[in-house]
Structure 1
């Protein structure tokens, strides 16, 4: 073979490779352009519906017409939500579809209070009693929504997409459907969550189907599997019109969780690189919404002294956690209020203090899964697990000491000097200091995770055994009982999905005693009086952090004041609509005052579900399954 022939073959090969690469890029570009085109078209349709609503509120439209147009607005929005919320989370949750409560945004309006606005506020408002005042409120909400949509469109479109981000936004969209859609969180007035979830699912399916173009042969079977699951989900949502009757457990196990993992496997097989657009707690490598690693606590502890997943600091933190010499009296340790044998609580209405005759001001919540939060303590006064430590040390009723005193004590102990050197050598001039002590304790608390309960094993398909009454209870918890509209899966705490960027508090109207005939509001102002200027807002009066209900069967008594001794009492309180539902005037109560009308059997079923969330076997010698009373045989 002569040189000319070899050169021709090389040139042909290069041309073939380059052409092939161009075809691949062209197909990828084509996919993304098609998705972007449909998205933009749907966004302009949404804008049109918003404009129609705004115009309608300026006329003498009937309430029926307003409800119909708000519904059209919301369904049009659901076609764009999975992408819009992924790329514009802050703007979306503040102005387009945020919760219908006042808020302060770290992104907009500085420290000014932003009053309820957007689609959720509209959904709630048009189902309020018809009055001139409410009509004016609806008109103002519609006008604000129009202005906000017009504003964001100027900078948001045209949108530049990446294949990885489209897949990731779809997977986050599935989490949103499960946690905010079928629970009714997103539709506080209409309870139209099933139809809206259907539209969301369909819009994500349409976007996904464009990946059929230029698909890697290895990914074809996964593509078809995902397509079938989308269709199955559509059928399930179409077949049930009654919000209370929808089988959320079946939908989770047969559609959402399988879809969540199959989309990831399709992404890998189709050589779509994992490159998230934004920083948040959701771990896209997780294969199940209830995987132990679905959320990453590192997101909440990014700015710590040393990463909290260090084994040496965790072990050191455990030692400090159990050491009474950290307190001024030498008799009190972290374990005093957070005993592993009772799910890291103390079993008392209000926590003990260093004075036997005096109790603390609030109940001691469990610290299991405490790391999945952006705020700490029941009044949310601390922003990190590390800063939380100082509040305990300084408190006259708790450790009543200072870091200076503790450092001197620890520095006299040869074992502690060695352990601190092993963990923190070369991080600072002195190994034992305020930051290292706080970091070690935070590392240990952050390591206390509880995601291997009977419920978790069942939804992860590790077992087929699960009580029927607990299944019914899960469906009630996620639906009619509205529990999941505050206690969000998978941690079942107040950290809001689908990106889990911030933690919520709620005004429940908790009373001084459980007296439904002559109730009196508890005097603790909670978050309003936590000492933070940003939280001294009227709508935070009597507001307390939404804690996880995982292991709740083991952590009685309940509420910030330890008012309720049983879960039956807690659910009875919610069943009555909280303080306002019992007739108290509660300013800015976030819990709906409407009675839930749960039957005795339904309450028992919800409790049966809660019992299956117990998992403390790694932290106590007692068998947590026996503690919870769950029979899996």
Structure 2
């Protein structure tokens, strides 16, 4: 099945051959056997639901099926990401996939939907739903056996799939994202970790002598991770900070070093945002912001265009009135917000429809604006320019103004000459502003420095808060590390929005749902779906301590209020009728101390040192 392959390792005058064919055959053999075991468990689950077995027996079989899947997930999701997230183990929400079924709404399905459904009300309707989910899962797994197997593996891709698997465990496993009903994330993470360890240990037979010490070090790291997951079976008590610092990050970095020591090429199978050259999940370069701007006029990492974009960002002459600039709503001294419930407009006493979100780390997304109506940072610019309450102008008018300025003519020439006949045009203006916004990155916070081992100082209450954020508080099931926004790991290919049931005022006695329909009303045909009513983009909580007030309507003035809203289960948990609320309506039962600890953690994510006038 696999071709013989080798990597030549030069060491002085000697040449050694590192053969990988038998290693890959062994990994493929394990994977195939585990896939058939997964199919067997799926078939048993399907049979039980068809026989109308007891809920207890079905629940037990759902658990076995999910655990069998966890043995194959790190390889399967690497090679079949879109199929996996659409049909096998994606979020239990309605979705539209551009890869499958065109614009048809795909109802919640797969393993996460089963995990959620099995713990819902024991009604006839729910039993029928579980049966249908099991039937569909069987159909799709049977199809995969014909289309997915046999599998062709490359050594580089095995290492990379293991590293991505560690990201998945940290962001989706131990946070409870994968197990919305059972909250069995720790046991499933253990099975995933053990499966990845088994795959890695196959490299022992062909390891380069220079990498033997590294091999055994990685083996011990896997064992440490196993021990930590085995020792704690209480989801709320698991020490996620310890696991991150002593297992996840060390494994992520050491696997890269092992790959380099064995001259295994860095040749990813797929294009995605994760940068495999990073050594730490919280490295500033862990995600490649340029991935999200692949089709731009000119790459956004150009120093000249960034500087030009900064000038345009600060220049009020771009607006029709000559009084408003991007700076008006995005002040660096306020973490690129304006500190108002709703953004200011060009008319005195009139405010915009929504809050101004921070632009820091805004580039790590596939959709822009709170209603997600723009697909790139470049197209985002146009929405601001032609908005009657904002710049209220046209590109034609701006181009005329800029052409009258000798400095701008020179700067545009230096950056864009040779692309089109006219250097100052709609695309070049948008590109320059987008380049500046894309450069606004914030990864020097006390938290970042601590988890990168650049400092040993970190507050104990913030450690507790991090563990709560990633565990009991369920915050990390929407705000994914490392950006802590809604761009989904481990490959960060799609940005999510959520229905939280935001109210018109924080009235827990007589709450009323806010009338802003959000994503449902963003003008995009694909988003005109009932489940997107009142849905808004999940923004980053980095620098959240500096960006009050919060939510799209500026409802909450403090982080304490935000946490209390979540603690109550959002709008639905407060008694509001909310269609398709994606936030669980179950009360979190966080104590005042726990809320304070989470806020302490959030405060350690603040970093505006590169942008404020008073630098830290």
Separation in structure 2 between the aligned mates of residue 154 and residue 583 of structure 1, nearest angstrom = 48
Instruction: State how far apart, in whole Å, the 2-side matches of 1:396 and 1:198 are.
Output: 54
SS of residue in 2 equivalent to 1:203: helix
Match of 1:130 among 122, 129, 135: 122
In structure 2, the residue matched to 1:559 is 551
Residues 13-162 of structure 1 mapped to structure 2, 5 A cutoff: 24=17, 27-162=19-154
Which residue is 2:193 aligned to?
201
Residue 448 of structure 2 corresponds to 456
Task: Determine helix, strand or coil for the equivalent of 1:351.
Answer: coil
- Give me the TM-score of the superposition, normalised by structure 1: 0.95
The reply on whether 1:183 has 2:171 as its aligned counterpart is no
Q: Which runs of 5+ in 1 are unaligned?
A: 1-19, 625-633
For 1:221 and 1:325, locate their aligned partners in 2 and report how far apart those are by CA, in whole Å: 62
Q: Distance in 2 between matches of 1:189 and 1:622?
A: 47
Separation of aligned partners in 2, 1:612 and 1:212 = 41
Provide the rounded CA distance (Å) in 2 between the counterparts of 1:150 and 1:24. Answer: 39
2:11 is matched with none
The alignment status of 1:385 with 2:377, answered yes or no, reads yes
Q: Distance in 2 between matches of 1:548 and 1:144?
A: 35
Q: Give the deviation of 1:97 after TM superposition.
A: 0.2
- In structure 2, the partner of 1:221 is 213
* C-alpha distance in structure 2 between counterparts of 1:35 and 1:404, whole Å: 59
User: 1:330 maps to which residue?
Assistant: 322
- Which residue does 1:484 correspond to in 2? 476
Within 1, Cα distance between the matches of 2:137 and 2:614?
54
SS at match of 1:213: helix
Tell me the CA shift for residue 215 of structure 1.
1.1
> Offset of 1:195 from its aligned partner?
0.2
Shift of 1:188: 0.1
Shift of 1:237: 0.1
The one-character-per-residue Cα deviations of 1:278-334 (angstroms, maximum 9, x if unpaired) are 000000000000000000011100000000000000000000000000000000000
Within 5 Å, give how 1:294-443 maps onto structure 2.
294-443=286-435
Q: Distance in 2 between matches of 1:221 and 1:421?
A: 54
> Residue 184 of structure 1: SS of its match in structure 2?
coil
Q: CA deviation at 1:98?
A: 0.5
Q: Give 1:598's aligned residue.
A: 590
TM superposition shift of 1:360: 0.1
Which residue pairs with 2:261 in the alignment? 269
- Indicate the residue corresponding to 1:253 in structure 2: 245
Matched residues, number: 603
- 1 CA distance for matches of 2:543 and 2:206? 48
Partner of 2:538: 546
Determine whether 1:619 maps to 2:607: no
The answer to whether 1:170 aligns with 2:159 is: no
Give the superposition deviation at 1:152: 1.4
Deviation at 1:224, TM superposition (A): 0.4
Per-residue CA shift, 1:22-68, capped at 9, x if unaligned? x947x410000000000000000000000000000011311111110
CA–CA distance in structure 1, aligned partners of residues 140 and 362 of structure 2 = 36
- 1:271 deviates by 1.2
Q: Secondary structure at the match of 1:282?
A: coil
Is 1:244 the equivalent of 2:208?
Answer: no
Question: Which stretches of structure 1, 4 residues or more, deviate above 3 A after TM superposition?
Answer: none
After the TM superposition, which residues 491-510 of structure 1 pair with which residues of structure 2 at under 5 Å, given as runs?
A: 491-510=483-502
Q: Secondary structure at the match of 2:272?
A: coil
Q: Distance in 2 between matches of 1:472 and 1:257?
A: 19
CA–CA distance in structure 2, aligned partners of residues 532 and 152 of structure 1: 33
C-alpha separation in 1, matches of 2:523 and 2:262: 52
**TM-score w.r.t. structure 2 length?**
0.97
Is the partner of 2:536 in helix, strand or coil? strand
Secondary structure of the structure 2 residue equivalent to 1:503: coil
- 1-side partners of 2:233 and 2:207: how far apart? 36
Which residue of structure 2 lines up, in the alignment, with residue 627 of structure 1? none
Partner of 2:8: none
| CA-CA distance at 1:623 after TM superposition | 4.8
Q: Report the 3-state secondary structure (helix = DSSP H, G, I; strand = E; otherwise coil) of the residue aligned with 1:544.
A: strand
Partners of 1:292 and 1:250 lie apart in 2 by 21
Supply the distance in 2 between the matched residues of 1:408 and 1:39 (Cα, whole angstroms): 62
Any residues of structure 2 matched to 1:497-536 within 5 Å, and which? 497-536=489-528
Q: Distance in 1 between matches of 2:377 and 2:246?
A: 37
Quote the Cα distance in structure 1 between the aligned partners of 2:282 and 2:596. Answer: 24
The Cα offsets for residues 317-373 of structure 1, whole Å up to 9 and x where unpaired, read as 000000000000000000000000000000000000000121000000000000000
Distance 1:275 1:153 in 2: 26
Partner of 1:610: 602
Whole-Å separation in 2 of the counterparts to 1:65 and 1:592: 26
Q: Does 1:445 align with 2:432?
A: no
Counterparts of 2:357 and 2:206, CA distance in 1? 53
| Unaligned stretches of 5+ residues in structure 2 | 1-13
- Indicate the structure (1 or 2) with the bigger Cα radius of gyration: 1
